[in-house]
């Protein structure tokens, strides 16, 4: 059992205190929404891939108020979700077929649980998906458009979901055996800087050979470089959706404090090394990264082979991908990593080219 010190820090963290009103208001649709336009996935950047298009269409039908804010705030995060989604579905279905049980996926701190609901809906009983959020309005959005009885929501912060909670909560018992995939989305950075203790808390919930997938905003050793990427985000992306006043208000209310709890790549790698043999960065947008970690060489190679190449303009990406951050000498993964080729909808692609 984890000692009380990190738990007390997390209870006192900005996410549950200083940020609480912002998240409740935004999730309820009472503020924070883009006022200049709504984000939509650019299927052209996904090479008009059929699986990504199906996922994007299903996903968009399930958005709640917070999703509009979130996908308008991080450059090309929506395309990344639509790139990641088909790989999650395919991996989960293969798990179901191999083990003759539903695959279990936990999307930790994912707002309205739109990703969890999309996966459960597309899994048609072959995927059990859980999400959590301490924001009551996110739970209301989840229940208003649950989409599948196989999607589940826990109202509370991630650190309340310990072994005892899984054992006594009737809706959580199905997850007591752990998760095949645990997806943490920009959540740890709202509680504190101690990534070792945060990963230590969730690691026992990952099944042997399972994947930890994280979307993290990382600090940079060069403060000016970090700020340059932030200006690019605000001036060239967020300005499409938010007026200058809204961008400024969020900086003042949330982003300054959140920056203090970000860690850099070196600290991230050091924390992951305590638990995983392999870790790969598969997406980069300014200061944001997708990081996939696993102890099974086969599992991580197979998962990456289901991902399309990153769907983002080169100017926003500062890393050659995939970037192997943790590897082994005896069984390296770096030489084996390849992206999936798109299943291009030729007719749609041709129509889009003509229209442009």
Low-confidence ranges of the chain (pLDDT < 50): none
Q: What is the pTM of this model?
A: 0.96
Cβ atoms 29, 66 nearer than 8 A: no
Query: pLDDT tens digits for 74-123?
Result: 999 999 999 999 999 999 999 999 999 999 999 999 999 999 999 999 99
Report the first-to-last Cα separation within the chain, whole angstroms. Answer: 58
DSSP states of 42-59 as a string? -GGGGTTBHHHHHHHHHH
- Tell me the CA distances in angstroms from 222 to 197, 219, 227, 288, one per residue in order: 26, 9, 9, 15
Cβ atoms 112, 146 nearer than 8 A: no
DSSP 252: I
Q: Determine the 3-state secondary structure of 315 from DSSP.
A: helix
**Domains detected in the chain:** 15-355 (3.40.50.150)
Cβ atoms 240, 37 nearer than 8 A: yes
> What pLDDT score was predicted for residue 253?
67
> What pLDDT score was predicted for residue 346?
86
Report the C-alpha gap between 27 and 137 in whole angstroms: 5
Helix %, strand %, coil % of the chain (to 5):
50, 15, 35
- Angle between the N-to-C axes of helices 77-99 and 114-123, in degrees from 0 to 180, rounded to the nearest 10: 40
Query: pLDDT tens digits for 237-267?
Result: 999 999 999 988 877 767 667 788 999 999 9
């Amino acid at each position: 059992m984890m000692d009380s010190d990190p738990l007390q820090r997390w209870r006192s963290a900005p996410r549950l205190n200083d940020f609480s009103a912002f998240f409740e208001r935004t999730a309820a649709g009472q503020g924070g929404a883009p006022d200049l336009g709504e984000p939509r996935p650019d299927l052209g950047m996904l090479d008009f891939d059929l699986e990504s298009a199906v996922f994007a269409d299903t996903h968009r039908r399930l958005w709640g108020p917070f999703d509009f804010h979130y996908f308008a705030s991080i450059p090309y995060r929506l395309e990344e979700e639509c790139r990641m989604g088909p790989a999650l579905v395919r991996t989960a279905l293969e798990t179901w077929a191999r083990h003759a049980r539903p695959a279990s996926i936990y999307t930790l701190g994912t707002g309205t649980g739109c990703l969890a609901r999309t996966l459960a809906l597309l899994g048609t009983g072959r995927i059990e998906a859980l999400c959590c959020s301490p924001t009551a309005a996110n739970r209301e959005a989840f229940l208003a458009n649950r989409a599948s009885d196989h999607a589940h929501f826990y109202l509370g912060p991630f650190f309340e979901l310990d072994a005892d909670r899984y054992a006594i909560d009737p809706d959580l018992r199905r997850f007591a055996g752990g998760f095949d995939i645990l997806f943490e989305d920009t959540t740890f950075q709202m509680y504190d800087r101690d990534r070792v203790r945060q990963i230590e808390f969730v690691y026992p919930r990952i099944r042997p050979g399972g994947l930890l997938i994280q979307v993290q905003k990382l600090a940079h050793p060069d403060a000016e470089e970090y700020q340059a990427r932030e200006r690019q985000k605000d001036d060239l992306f967020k300005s499409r959706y938010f007026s200058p006043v809204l961008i400024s208000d969020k900086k003042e209310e949330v982003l300054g404090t959140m920056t203090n709890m970000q860690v850099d790549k070196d600290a991230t790698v050091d924390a992951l090394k305590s638990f995983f043999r392999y870790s790969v960065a598969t997406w980069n947008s300014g200061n944001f990264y997708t990081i996939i970690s696993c102890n099974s060489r086969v599992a991580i190679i197979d998962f990456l082979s289901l991902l399309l190449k990153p769907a983002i303009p080169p100017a926003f990406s500062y890393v050659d991908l995939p970037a192997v951050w943790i590897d082994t000498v005896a069984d390296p993964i770096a030489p084996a990593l390849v992206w999936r080729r798109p299943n291009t909808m030729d007719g749609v692609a041709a129509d889009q080219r003509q229209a442009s």
